[in-house]
Chains A and B, each alone.
Chain A
């Protein structure tokens, strides 16, 4: 839903016109940008917001007495409100700004994890997790003597829910799960996972790095305890992320870093801490990028994620159909409901060769393990080639990509 209640009719041509970078060429060919799961391009509105902030309003936020500080604080906090609405949180007190999904997860692992994990406690993850949702837990698990249990996936990358239920127990303290897999695009049944985890008294963190750009998020309806996402994957600036946490949890969590803004009173005899969310935002935040993030949220809201998703789903279904016919191609996670990602291998061909030769045709994809080595290990492969979509991709993009890939496979076989 748009903030003003008006939705913009979907016209991919006019959307493309909003993204200046899409006009550039690569190696003399029009850019076909299909690395959106890594980061999305930015609409002019976001670029303008960033420039406008530095041009007309730059000041440090909070505690200022002058006009610029007031304006900067108002703009900064306006993004917190937009972010609250974007994920359906009850209050802006539950929205912490971080550097991105990775920092959001690290914050929970370091703060909540250190407080609540004891010897023999269990953390449940899945084979699909990004390294960012594995390593912070390994670090705190090692420190606290907790144990990590892993929900397996089948050969299609489907999260094995029954296996998850078997792993759940009174020892489970937290389940940290990726909503939409960055490597495959498969969606996990987070509603069911959250309900089952809560039934044994465990907390749930949802890694929304990939889902937040494609799916309407309502953390209250989901009833997740933590939700993490990154602005730069939602057409916003890099270096900004959100950590949502239920108010009751944030209120009892210890600070993650110490410094300015996060304190109430500092004495050498002892320091008291500010209330959430400020308790978790030590130091001068990334003000300009936070301010510009609001423009990205409003841009997406004006079109509507269901509309965007319908467009992306159509493109993905068509291109998948065509790629599937190329000899030796195997699409991973090729199950219904896959979102925004086409991850594949070509028999006897290294993904790096595919990436280099596609780049020479102006097509940007990502190759490798996508920071999901355990998942690659599960499939017995070193990596895949991943094309990932955004709202500005067109049927022509899909055609150029497929034609270019056909040529690459001919060159390498």
Chain B
């Protein structure tokens, strides 16, 4: 078990904010996000269905989760690269955490890395929809755990 060495949601958020602090222009920031998108572990094609689809404004995001050792693990894919990079950051923060921690998380890193202002309302709504879905998944796993 790696429970005690696993950093908390807040710690990972701080880590990401620190990394983004190194970029002094929009270009390197977005290049980093695009790179994160490229490196996101692939989602099995079986999950690229409407049931796993999160409806954003223009791009399509698919997400799936499973539950192991008391922690929720997320996988995702997107057809647009910047959104995929942002999803990858969300997964880095929320994956491999307990259902309670995920449900109670108050994510501030998107604001802190200046992405809310860079992404128009309609698109950041998409991000909000993703976080909401991740929390719903976590709550569902928790429910299953207590009522197997």
Interface positions of A (Cβ within 8 A of B): 27, 349-353, 356-357, 359-360, 367-368, 382-383, 411-412
Chain B interface residue count, CB cutoff 8 Å, equals 17
In B120-145, the 8 Å CB interface with A consists of 120, 123
In B57-88, the 8 Å CB interface with A consists of 57-59, 79-83
B30 touches A411 (CB 8 A): yes
Offer 11 A-B interface pairs, CB within 8 angstroms, sorted by A: A350-B58, A352-B58, A352-B59, A352-B80, A352-B123, A353-B34, A356-B123, A357-B30, A360-B118, A411-B27, A412-B34
A-B contact count (CB 8 A): 41
B118 touches A352 (CB 8 A): no
- Which residues on the B side are within 8 Å of A27 (C-beta)? 26
Are A412 and B58 CB-contacts (below 8 A) given A356-B118, A357-B30, A360-B118? no
Residue in A closest to B31 when the chains form the complex, CB atoms:
A411
Chain B proximity of A256: nearest CB distance (Å):
31
Give 9 closest A-B pairs by Cβ, nearest first.
A350-B80, A352-B80, A352-B58, A360-B26, A352-B59, A368-B58, A353-B81, A353-B82, A353-B80
A352 touches B83 (CB 8 A): yes
A350 touches B79 (CB 8 A): yes
Chain B proximity of A386: nearest CB distance (Å):
13
Are A352 and B31 CB-contacts (below 8 A) given A27-B26, A368-B58? no
User: Looking at the complex, which one of A357, A359, A383 makes contact with B58 (CB distance below 8 Å)?
Assistant: A383
Bound Cα distance from A27 to B26, whole angstroms: 9
Which residue of B57, B58, B59, B119 has the most chain A CB atoms within 10 A of its CB atom?
B58
Residue in B closest to A355 when the chains form the complex, CB atoms:
B58
- Which residues on the B side are within 8 Å of A368 (C-beta)? 57-58
B30 touches A360 (CB 8 A): yes
Per-residue interface assignment for chain B, residues 19 to 62, with 1 indicating a CB less than 8 Å from any chain A CB and 0 otherwise: 00000001100110010000000000000000000000111000
- Which residues on the A side are within 8 Å of B82 (C-beta)? 352-353, 356-357
A350 touches B59 (CB 8 A): yes
Bound Cα distance from A92 to B92, whole angstroms: 64
- Which residues on the A side are within 8 Å of B58 (C-beta)? 350-352, 367-368, 383
Bound Cα distance from A411 to B120, whole angstroms: 20
- Which residues on the A side are within 8 Å of B81 (C-beta)? 349-350, 353, 412
Residue in B closest to A29 when the chains form the complex, CB atoms:
B26
Residue in B closest to A367 when the chains form the complex, CB atoms:
B58
- Which residues on the B side are within 8 Å of A360 (C-beta)? 26-27, 30, 118
Residue in A closest to B80 when the chains form the complex, CB atoms:
A350
